[in-house]
């Protein structure tokens, strides 16, 4: 698998993405040719080698013709432009998804609906070139996965169409919910809403450098030359080692120690967490301060559910603090297959490794429903389902 890793130690923006892709080997002409089919004018894409705090990088800029009128554009306008440029379907879908996420974040921040959001003035042309160009560049590199580090946000304030905004900008914060971020290390805007939307839509967080055999490295330069750190986005491209029948992802692990709740309250909370989509929720007995018995409640959730999951912990437990950590996990390849028992069908959960099934377990809810409907024991249904699965494998 060909993997790209974005090291966002100095944040991320759309032009930094383009620069990193070109620096990693994507031909600028390939991006220019793809953008040329879009029904927009009054811009020019250029690339040049620059230095940023001692690191050589590629700076890609969208030069705008100030004499040409650049109207405000809403989400529908932008999606029409992207869809009308003769681009490959994959590029259209992924570019459109970036703008939808960007518009949803802006709408939430400004208390309006998505259709009322406008990408202000020349920024619409700039953002279209950045986003579509980035998606084209990822396709040109043949990346199967795009992962990214903790995202540095910067600090201070920034001037925007709506006035002076804190850094990170409100839309940037909204887009990066559930993803690993950190403020600083300088008081300038390091991560823009466009950069955040690209990460949210196209990438997957990776708290550590992913295992890979490095093939290409690209540095995309930001507009400022900062003294405190190189203002660049590093893209490393390589081959991930083959791992038969396994896959990996990232999950948030949340924990809270509880010593003043009843067992019923803790059980109710875990039910609420699972019903809301938590991957798992479980407790373990612990001894707390002054010898008090308590429980440790642990919850696993996907990155995009972090805020909602944490909100449930605040609402349904007495804790004053929640510990959280982003973990990578490996998973066996999984599948589901239905088998027929004397009383009806049961789904079997399969796990694969090395090209063969190493786990085959009946789905509990299916077996429970059959046992209740046919007045047979749960064990008998399990036995019949496993026998049917073994027969079908022969």
Residue 316 has what pLDDT? Answer: 97
Contact predicate 215/193, CB 8 Å: no
Nearest in space to 102 (alpha carbons), one of 28, 193, 232? 193
- What are the E-state strand segments in the chain? 2-7, 43-52, 55-64, 73-74, 118-119, 145-148, 151-152, 157-160, 163-166, 181-182, 204-205, 213-221, 232-239, 246-258, 280-287, 293-301, 323-341, 344-353, 356-362
Contact predicate 111/121, CB 8 Å: no
- In tens, the pLDDT along 256-304 reads 999 999 999 999 999 999 999 999 999 999 999 888 999 999 999 998 8
Residues in CB range of 275: below 8 A, 6 or more apart: none
Residue 259 has what pLDDT? Answer: 93
Lowest mean pLDDT among 135-139, 271-275, 325-329: 325-329
Contact predicate 241/213, CB 8 Å: yes
Nearest in space to 198 (alpha carbons), one of 127, 114, 108, 98? 98
Answer whether residue 330 shows pLDDT above 90: no
Contact predicate 221/18, CB 8 Å: no
- Structure token digits, residue 269: 């909370």
Residue 132 has what pLDDT? Answer: 97
CA distance 28 to 33: 9
321 half-sphere exposure, CB direction, 13 A CA radius: 2
Answer whether residue 36 shows pLDDT above 60: yes
> Please, what are the domains in the chain?
2-239 (no CATH), 247-321 (3.30.70.1380), 331-393 (3.10.20.300)
Torsions phi, psi for 247 (to 5 deg): -140, 165
DSSP state of 254: E
Residue 163 has what pLDDT? Answer: 78
- Concatenated DSSP letters for 70-127? ---EEHHHHHHHHHTS---HHHHHHHHHHHHHHHHHHHHHHTS-GGG-EE-TTHHHHH
CA distance 324 to 178: 11
How many whole angstroms from its chain centre is CA 75? 21
Per-residue pLDDT averaged across 197-215, rounded? Answer: 91
Answer whether residue 120 shows pLDDT above 80: no
- In tens, the pLDDT along 2-20 reads 999 999 999 999 999 999 9
Answer whether residue 354 shows pLDDT above 80: no
Answer whether residue 393 shows pLDDT above 80: no
What is the four-CA torsion angle of 311, 313, 317, 318, rounded to 10 degrees? Answer: -70
Answer whether residue 244 shows pLDDT above 60: no
Three-state DSSP class for residue 10? coil
Residue 243 or residue 7, greater confidence: 7
Per-residue pLDDT averaged across 129-154, rounded? Answer: 96
Residues in CB range of 329: below 8 A, 6 or more apart: 248, 249, 250, 251
Per-residue pLDDT averaged across 206-230, rounded? Answer: 93
- In tens, the pLDDT along 248-257 reads 788 999 999 9
Residue 379 or residue 66, greater confidence: 379
Three-state DSSP class for residue 280? strand
Per-residue pLDDT averaged across 181-195, rounded? Answer: 95
Residue 121 has what pLDDT? Answer: 41
Three-state DSSP class for residue 237? strand
Residue 123 or residue 157, greater confidence: 157
Is the pTM here over 0.75, yes or no? no
In the chain, what percentage of residues exceed pLDDT 70? 95
Contact predicate 384/341, CB 8 Å: yes
Query: What's the mean pLDDT when you consider all of the chain?
Result: 91
Q: Over the range 144-158, which residues count as b (16 or more CB within 10 Å of their CB) and which as e?
A: ebbbbbbbbbbbeee
pLDDT level of residue 73 (50, 70, 90 thresholds): confident
Nearest in space to 338 (alpha carbons), one of 378, 370, 372? 370
Answer whether residue 88 shows pLDDT above 60: yes
Nearest in space to 299 (alpha carbons), one of 320, 276, 331? 276
- In tens, the pLDDT along 292-325 reads 999 999 999 998 899 899 999 999 999 999 999 9
Per-residue pLDDT averaged across 149-167, rounded? Answer: 88
Residue 186 or residue 247, greater confidence: 186
pLDDT level of residue 243 (50, 70, 90 thresholds): low
């Amino acid at each position: 698998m060909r993997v790209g890793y974005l090291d966002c130690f100095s944040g991320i923006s759309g032009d930094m993405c383009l620069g990193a892709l070109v620096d990693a080997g994507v031909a600028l002409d390939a991006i220019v040719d793809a953008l040329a089919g879009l029904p927009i004018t009054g811009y020019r894409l250029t690339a040049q080698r620059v230095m940023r705090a001692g690191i050589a990088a590629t700076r890609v800029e969208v030069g705008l013709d100030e004499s040409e009128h650049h109207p405000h554009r809403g989400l529908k306008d932008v999606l029409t432009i992207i869809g009308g440029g003769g681009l490959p379907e994959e590029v259209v879908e992924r570019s459109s998804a970036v703008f939808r996420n960007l518009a949803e974040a802006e709408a939430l921040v400004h208390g309006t609906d998505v259709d009322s959001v406008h990408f202000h003035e020349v920024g619409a042309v700039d953002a279209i070139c950045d986003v579509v160009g980035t998606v084209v560049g990822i396709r040109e590199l043949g990346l199967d996965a795009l992962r990214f580090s903790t995202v540095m946000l910067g600090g201070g304030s920034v001037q925007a169409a709506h006035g002076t905004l804190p850094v990170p900008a409100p839309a940037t914060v909204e887009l990066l919910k559930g993803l690993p971020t950190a403020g600083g290390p300088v008081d300038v805007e390091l991560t823009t809403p466009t950069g955040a939307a690209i990460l949210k839509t196209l990438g997957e967080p990776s708290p550590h450098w992913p295992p890979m055999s490095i093939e290409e490295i690209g540095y995309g330069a930001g507009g400022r030359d900062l003294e405190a750190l190189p203002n660049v986005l590093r893209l490393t491209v390589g081959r991930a080692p083959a791992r038969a029948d396994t896959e990996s992802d990232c999950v948030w692990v949340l924990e809270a120690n509880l010593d003043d709740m009843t067992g019923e309250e803790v059980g109710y909370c875990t039910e609420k967490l699972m019903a809301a989509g938590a991957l798992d929720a479980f407790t373990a007995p612990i001894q707390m301060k002054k010898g008090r018995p308590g429980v440790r409640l642990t919850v696993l959730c996907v990155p995009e559910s972090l805020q909602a999951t944490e909100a449930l912990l605040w609402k349904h437990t007495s804790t004053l603090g929640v510990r959280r950590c982003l973990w990578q996990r490996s998973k066996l390849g999984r599948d589901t297959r239905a088998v027929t028992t004397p009383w009806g069908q049961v789904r079997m959960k399969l796990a694969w490794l090395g090209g063969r099934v190493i786990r085959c377990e009946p789905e509990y809810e299916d077996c429970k429903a059959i046992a209740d409907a046919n007045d047979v024991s749960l064990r008998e249904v399990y036995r019949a389902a496993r026998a049917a699965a073994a027969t079908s494998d022969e």
